[in-house]
Amino acid sequence: MKNILIFFRFFPSVGGTERVFTILANSFITNGYDVHIVSIEKSIDVPMFYLDKQVKCSILPHRNVACQENIRTLHSYLIDNKIDYIINNDSIKEAVKLCSEAKENTNIKLVTIHHGDIVCKKEYIYLMAQQGSGLNRFLKSLFFPLYLKYQNHRRKENHKFNLLKSDKYILLSNSFKKYLPQNDKIMAINNPLSYMREEFSGAKENMVILVGRLLEPHKRVLLSLKIWSIVADKHPDWKYYIVGDGEDRALIENFIQDNNIPNVILTGKTESQQYYKRAKILIMTSAFEGWGLVINEAMQNNCVPIVMYSYDSLPDIIADQENGFISPNNDIEAFADKLDRLMSDEMMWADMSKKAYISTARFIPENIIKQWIDMLNTL
């Protein structure tokens, strides 16, 4: 039996990354591996997603990720549990340093996953600039072009370090490889589906959904509301559900009220699968993503996606005009036109809905875990 240690700074926690590596952990167990999860701290008390009881969970003693105490503790854990592979789910430099130094003088292989885009999108750096003290935020905003340049240089150097220290560097899409130097360590493995894949049965509602954290300017919910306001009056029997919660909920509620946008419902924090099953259409207007897990989740529930082309891996999921629509980034009118067409044409929706479901077969966990096992066997 091979032993795998999965490192993730925050576990248990909430989010797409945790959902993905929880699915991977369960799949490794199913395939006869012994699985350990080691983290730095908890974000919540118990795992949000189902985790096989055979998975062993531990927390390192210090919040300073790559401190010597953590390195020594992790090294002892690796030896005591006869770990063969470390799968590092955190591609920040400190996490790679912790894992690589903890495995020194062993035959343990280190696989690092980078869950996001390779380059820093302007909107992502803007969100980073809003963090910290008032003076800190002010200086970052004042010198934002320099801050953006600095962060992109830092990201580039971080990728170099990760490649140097890891035996494999896993990206979510082959489309990201163009941003990195050619290297045999780089490999792309897509994210698995989040739910059991079941054939659709029953009626769908005239419902459009957006699923995600209410955070501007990342998810650009306000942009989606501008799109909805264009089509809403043409389709008074349709409703727009914004599924999720976040820091900018009040901002979004005020925007809806100030602009008198009809038929919009904010669900708050809730389980999203019930809405995938009910809705006909998912829209996504994010400024950046690594993969966009909610697209897969929607499609496996016969919910047709319309997504702004703001990140490179999107064509890995959507074949434009076949199982969904890829809309030009920032073009509100083009997006609204696609949404209007899909809401108006039941036959078009039914055909794309069926193709959306069929196309998700390649992402079932059994197929994704096979790629992981084949990769580990080459190390």
pLDDT at 132: 66
Average pLDDT for 349-374: 96
Q: What is the pLDDT of residues 267-277, one digit of tens each?
A: 998 989 999 99
**In the predicted model, what is the mean pLDDT of the chain?**
93
Query: pLDDT per residue over 83-99, tens digit each?
Result: 999 999 999 999 999 99
Q: Is the peptide bond preceding residue 217 cis, with omega within 30 degrees of 0? A: yes
Q: What is the pLDDT of residue 125?
A: 74
Q: Please determine, for residue 322, whether its predicted confidence score (pLDDT) is greater than 90.
A: yes
The predicted pLDDT at position 128 comes to 67
pLDDT digits (tens, 9 = 90+) for 43-102: 887 787 889 999 999 999 999 999 999 999 999 999 999 999 999 999 999 999 999 999
In SS3 terms, the chain reads as: CCEEEEECCECCCCCHHHHHHHHHHHHHHHCCCEEEEEECECCCCCCCCCCCCCCEEEECCCCCCCCHHHHHHHHHHHHHCCCCEEEECCCCHHHHHHHHHHCCCCCCEEEEECCCCCCCCHHHHHHHHCCCCHHHHHHHHHCHHHHHHHHHHHHHHHHHHHHHHCCEEEECCHHHHHHCCCCCCEEECCCCCCCCCCCCCCCCCCEEEEECCCCCCCCCHHHHHHHHHHHHHHCCCCEEEEEECCCCHHHHHHHHHHCCCCCEEEEECCCCHHHHHHCCEEEECCCCCCCCHHHHHHHCCCCEEEEECCCCCHHHHCCECCCEEEECCCCHHHHHHHHHHHHHCHHHHHHHHHHHHHHHHHHCHHHHHHHHHHHHHHC
